[in-house]
Structure 1
Amino acid sequence: MIIVEEVQNENQKNEFLEFPAQLHRNDKNYIRPLNKHIEEIFDPQKNKFFKKGECKRFLFKKDGKTVGKVAVFINNNYKQKQPTGGIGFFDCIHDQDTADFIFDHCKNWLQERGMEAMDGPINFGERDKFWGLLIEGFEEPLFGMNYNLPYYKELFESYGFQIYFEQLCFTRPIFAEVSRVFRIAHEKNRRNPAISARPMKKNNLEKFAKDFTAIYNKAWASHGEGKQLDEKKVLKMFITMKPIINEHISWFVYENEKPIAMWINIPDLNQWFKYLNGKFGLFEKLKFLLLKQFKKNEKMVGLVFGIVPEWQKKGIDGYMIWEGTQHLRKHTDFTVTELQWIGDFNPKMIKIAEALDTTVTRKLATYRYLFDRDREFERHQPI
């Protein structure tokens, strides 16, 4: 018999954090997320999504031992064709009956709150972290990326979940040849005196936050489930990121002083965090600073790429990429870049990634389960 416990006290919170590490104890590629980054998601004081949503965490125990865990939630900003809730932070032993019990529990919890479907595993937050189930490419995960055991795919699909969209991660060696098309585009735009490219600088974050917001809101305004960013919130995010910003790898392009394109990258923090075992107390913070100073990090992660509509299809992508690549080759230790996932519903971004001569090195999947089993299932529409 499986016993359900809502996570409320410190012992239960600790078990929620420790259980995945137990499952992955023999997996050399597992990198444990920092406990603080998990706990912040479930703290109403730190996660804005509690203002318009509800979230609960549960442990599942059998014979006194934890056999699974999950978070189940409603985010009222998550607009879908039918009211759709979410599940995330799912972990389970290799047993379909146990997984089915967990999924049934989530389904019942969501139905009681008027939901008609559930997506998972997703985050009670933005899509940039802890989103999707790894189905191909079981290598060391990037910072903020979900990582799971291969049998999870079977657990989800045997229950009846279907892929709503795939999340593709593209990798490219830094010193591989850049596409001739991009280099031609670079040369064309380089001759235009109005066009310039600049790396992001820590001492001028207000300007770059303003420029980022302007480009993002223009470039992504027409995308599905899109939204407008607020400049103050972007600046706050940049200030939070300041300790890990590398001034050689994030680039902006301007027409005179008007921002028209951006390419935002950060070092893969997991290359340092993997030595901290999920903790980030005083000792770990000192260790992190030493690692950051003396441990080479050869992997960078592409977070955002955007061009304002009036400059799209004019070779600005090639100009920016080749301008930035030439610079970072000289001034950093990075040997590989991986683009944070691109949804298969976004053919424009996939085309840009492919033009960079990248290779798909891992896939994640966002699954959906319709509670009405007679209802026709629809995948995410292209944007």
Structure 2
Amino acid sequence: MQLIEVQSSSHIKAFHHLPFEIYADDPVWVPHLQQDVEKVFDPSKNKLFRTGMAKRWLAVHNGKVCGRIAAFVNEKYSKGMEQPTGGLGFFESINDKVVAFALLDEAIAWLKSNGMDAVDGPINFGEKNMFWGLQIENFVDPPSYGMNYNPEYYKGFFAEYGFEVYYNQFCYKRRLDIPVHEDFEEKSKRMMQDPKFAIRNIRGRSLERVAEDFLTVYNNAWGGHHGFKKMKLREAQKIMKALKPVIDRDIVIFAFYDEKPIAFYVNIPELNEIFCYVNGNLNWLGKLKFLYHKWRRTPKTMVGIVFGIDRAFHGRGVESTIVKYTEKNVVPMKRYTDTVMVWIGDFNPKMITIVEKLGPEKYRTLATFLYLFDRTK
């Protein structure tokens, strides 16, 4: 068996083709978009290459690709760790420990040579909302857009190699027609009695204004957390620009107090309910299929991608009011039957408590694993 660094266009093609072999008999698998994956490895599109580096490999046996992996050195990510920590991701392997361990060996050797003392994985050379974690529970439901999905036997590979769970990532799902918990009902009533409080979707508002409101809430919600970096307007505008092709203005919700934005609940349609038709490639044909299914409003699931409340309004029932607004205004449209909250780490018990009060099903668990190179620790 050979391990080949991905360098040529044929290598890149093989990198993307391998999952189609691994999941050939899996009816719920939806491939990641090739374009999304390639952005990660393109220095002109991924700013982490300014101070970091990435490399990826293919495992080839008798002329046939049987595995793949990538490894990353992300200076920003490593700074927050107890020891210099690299990352690995985009791991795929046939059900053969020899192949899997050879890929892990190669990635770890490269990380060691670049000054790392540990590795987290599977993770992304980018933000945590994409390509993050190893699925360890529920292999029967389709994955959400950007979420990792893998065969169950990958758990055994990582555990036997010596990886340990760093943190769990819980995904929740709930039918929209299920009434909210009575606690939410009471808190919502109290909040709505304040004439200064208002809540509405973004229909009729420009995305430029929405970006400004998003920026205000984001900085006031997460400001003060360790390692927090204040968001700038151009970053908020970039987020809105990225959301523009997929946004449904009826399910992006903001709360205001005295006309100042104090909270948001940003949902989008479940894109994998469209991308399951494009075969992992958003080329011209894939784009036509995307536009068709967007026009048809094919997705019946909405995905909560971010939920934030100004710290000054914590504990006042704002989250309850947003949830109640969704029940009264989104459910009657009958466009969506389910809502999914993308992963929440077990390091965030407060958010887990809020979400679980809604009565959802914890329908999928992923985990981020850690491996220390010094095996005596």
Q: Name the counterpart of 1:306.
A: 308
For residues 50 and 202 of structure 1, do their structure 2 counterparts lie closer, same or farther at Cα, with a shift above 3 Å needed? farther
Asked whether 1:267 is paired with 2:275, we answer no
Q: Name the counterpart of 1:220.
A: 222
**Matched residues in 1 for 2:163 and 2:227: separation?**
22
* Cα pair 1:171 1:359 within 8 Å, conserved: yes
**Matched residues in 1 for 2:372 and 2:148: separation?**
23
* Cα pair 1:202 1:245 within 8 Å, conserved: no
Counterpart among 216, 236, 239 of residue 237 in structure 1? 239
Counterpart among 185, 188, 192 of residue 187 in structure 2? 185
Q: Name the counterpart of 2:52.
A: 53
Asked whether 1:351 is paired with 2:353, we answer yes
Asked whether 1:284 is paired with 2:286, we answer yes
Structure 1 range deviating more: 269-278 or 289-298: 289-298
Q: Name the counterpart of 2:108.
A: 107
Q: Name the counterpart of 2:118.
A: 117
**Matched residues in 1 for 2:85 and 2:227: separation?**
14
Give the 3-state SS of the residue equivalent to 2:308 in structure 1: strand
Task: Say how many residue pairs are matched.
Answer: 374
Asked whether 1:170 is paired with 2:175, we answer no
Q: Name the counterpart of 1:95.
A: 96
Structure 1 range deviating more: 22-31 or 230-239: 230-239
Q: Name the counterpart of 1:129.
A: 130
Q: Which amino acid aligns with 2:339?
A: T
Deviation at 1:220, TM superposition (A): 1.6
Structure 1 range deviating more: 208-217 or 334-343: 208-217
* Cα pair 2:201 2:251 within 8 Å, conserved: yes
For residues 222 and 166 of structure 1, do their structure 2 counterparts lie closer, same or farther at Cα, with a shift above 3 Å needed? farther
**Matched residues in 2 for 1:295 and 1:243: separation?**
13
What TM-score results when the alignment is normalised by the length of structure 2? 0.97
Q: Name the counterpart of 1:74.
A: 73
Q: Which amino acid aligns with 1:212?
A: F
Q: Which amino acid aligns with 1:371?
A: F
Give the 3-state SS of the residue equivalent to 1:367 in structure 2: strand
* Cα pair 1:40 1:46 within 8 Å, conserved: yes
What TM-score results when the alignment is normalised by the length of structure 1? 0.95
Give the 3-state SS of the residue equivalent to 1:166 in structure 2: strand
Asked whether 1:317 is paired with 2:316, we answer no
* Cα pair 1:248 1:332 within 8 Å, conserved: no
**Matched residues in 1 for 2:337 and 2:245: separation?**
21
Deviation at 1:296, TM superposition (A): 2.7
For residues 129 and 16 of structure 1, do their structure 2 counterparts lie closer, same or farther at Cα, with a shift above 3 Å needed? same
Cα deviation per residue 1:240-261 (whole Å; 9 max; x = unaligned)? 2112111111111111111111
Give the 3-state SS of the residue equivalent to 2:370 in structure 1: strand
**Matched residues in 2 for 1:363 and 1:213: separation?**
30
Deviation at 1:221, TM superposition (A): 2.5
CA RMSD, aligned part only?
A: 1.2
Cα deviation per residue 1:33-85 (whole Å; 9 max; x = unaligned)? 11111111111111111112100111111121112101101000102111000
Deviation at 1:202, TM superposition (A): 6.8
* Cα pair 1:165 1:367 within 8 Å, conserved: yes
Q: Which amino acid aligns with 2:111?
A: L
Q: Name the counterpart of 1:38.
A: 37
Give the 3-state SS of the residue equivalent to 1:301 in structure 2: strand
Deviation at 1:332, TM superposition (A): 4.5
Q: Name the counterpart of 1:16.
A: 15
Q: Name the counterpart of 1:200.
A: 202
Q: Name the counterpart of 2:27.
A: 28
Deviation at 1:225, TM superposition (A): 4.6
Q: Name the counterpart of 1:3.
A: 2
* Cα pair 1:55 1:72 within 8 Å, conserved: yes
Q: Name the counterpart of 1:338.
A: 340
Q: Which amino acid aligns with 2:48?
A: F
Deviation at 1:156, TM superposition (A): 0.5
**Matched residues in 2 for 1:37 and 1:21: separation?**
16
Give the 3-state SS of the residue equivalent to 1:77 in structure 2: helix
Deviation at 1:324, TM superposition (A): 2.4
Q: Name the counterpart of 1:378.
A: none
Give the 3-state SS of the residue equivalent to 1:243 in structure 2: coil
Q: Name the counterpart of 2:253.
A: 251
Cα deviation per residue 1:157-181 (whole Å; 9 max; x = unaligned)? 1000000000000111000011111
For residues 326 and 340 of structure 1, do their structure 2 counterparts lie closer, same or farther at Cα, with a shift above 3 Å needed? same
For residues 22 and 305 of structure 1, do their structure 2 counterparts lie closer, same or farther at Cα, with a shift above 3 Å needed? same
**Matched residues in 2 for 1:42 and 1:297: separation?**
29
* Cα pair 1:248 1:331 within 8 Å, conserved: no
* Cα pair 1:52 1:76 within 8 Å, conserved: yes
* Cα pair 2:179 2:327 within 8 Å, conserved: no
**Matched residues in 2 for 1:111 and 1:31: separation?**
33
**Matched residues in 1 for 2:128 and 2:227: separation?**
12
Give the 3-state SS of the residue equivalent to 2:206 in structure 1: helix
Q: Name the counterpart of 1:85.
A: 86
**Matched residues in 1 for 2:228 and 2:41: separation?**
24
